[in-house]
A and B are shown apart, each in its own frame.
Chain A
Amino acid sequence: MTELLWWVFASLAIGGALGMILGRSPVASLMFLILTFFGVAAIYILLGAHFIGAIQIIVYAGAIMVLFLFVIMLLNLGHDYEKDLRSVGWMAAGFAAAGATGFLLTRAFLPAGSVPDMGGDSMIAAAVEQYGAVGAVAYPMLQEYVVPFELTGLLLLIAIVGAVVLAKRRI
């Protein structure tokens, strides 16, 4: 059952990605991208990462995509599809580069057992049993990784100030 659902959501994600890179207008591309994000969120949940799946939907499909949609509609884009696509040479180069990237990444992953199993599945199951789905992620984040966590907060603050400075006409 999990296997079948995985295939459904994986094809949803790939279809959404294809629709995005070939979409005729930026809004259509964005809607396909949201489809991809939902597919990926469902795959996170199938992989057992429930909290990350919820975060994916709230932050990506919610906040970031609304920001994109807002900018697209603010700038009133999307009337020149032909100008938007690059020339045939670029397309051939693009598909060749992507094919090489995909082949190399797949080649690195594919031999079965190339990922050493260090018992992560049972460790996660034990942590979820003890702390719950959110706590299992939160405890290591706020203990071992507390410095990166605080730095992320600082980064977000800098991003807010930077966005205001860049987008404001006159400060």
Chain B
Amino acid sequence: MLLTQSLVLSAILFSLGVVGILIRRNAIILFMCVELMLNAANLAFVALSRAVGIEGQVFVFFVIAVAAAEAAVGLAIVIAVFRHFESVDIKNFSLLRW
């Protein structure tokens, strides 16, 4: 059954993204992990569109647009932080916390 299998694959990819977020310090790799988690969510949407209808694929389109916007702004922040600290280690981003 392709639908259930794909949902399980999406769960696996999402948890691999979680592992990456928790074990790496490089901000750019953290961004890649966020993209992976968004992709896992997209996979769940597409798989469920086989049960529910075309709406799943429409939502994936919106998620991809939001991911593109997020990557552009996020990488701009990375460049701004790198200019300040000469490093993209995540500890330099603590200024954004509060």
* A contact residues around B2 at 8 Å (CB): 2-3, 6, 46-47
- If A115-B51, A124-B54 touch, whether A94 touches B18 (CB-CB below 8 Å) is yes
A64/B71 in contact, CB under 8 A: yes
Tell me the dominant secondary structure on chain A's binding face.
Answer: helix
Q: When each residue 44-80 of chain A gets 1 if its CB lies under 8 Å from chain B and 0 otherwise, what string results?
A: 1011110110011001100110011001101101000
The count of residues in chain B whose C-beta lies closer than 8 Å to any C-beta of chain A is 72
**Which B residues, 3 to 53, have Cβ-Cβ distances below 8 Å to chain A?**
3-26, 28-29, 31-33, 35-36, 39, 42-43, 46-53
CA separation between A124 and B47, bound complex, in Å?
Answer: 12
Tell me the dominant secondary structure on chain B's binding face.
Answer: helix
Name B residues whose Cβ lies closer than 8 Å to a Cβ of A: 1-26, 28-29, 31-33, 35-36, 39, 42-43, 46-58, 60-62, 64-73, 75-80, 82-83, 88-89
Name A residues whose Cβ lies closer than 8 Å to a Cβ of B: 2-3, 6, 10, 13-14, 17-18, 20-21, 23, 26, 29-30, 33, 36-37, 40, 43-44, 46-49, 51-52, 55-56, 59-60, 63-64, 67-68, 71-72, 74-75, 77, 83-86, 90-91, 93-95, 97-99, 101-102, 105-106, 109-110, 112, 115-121, 123-124, 127, 136-137, 140-141, 145, 148-149, 152, 155-156, 158-160, 162-164, 166-167, 169
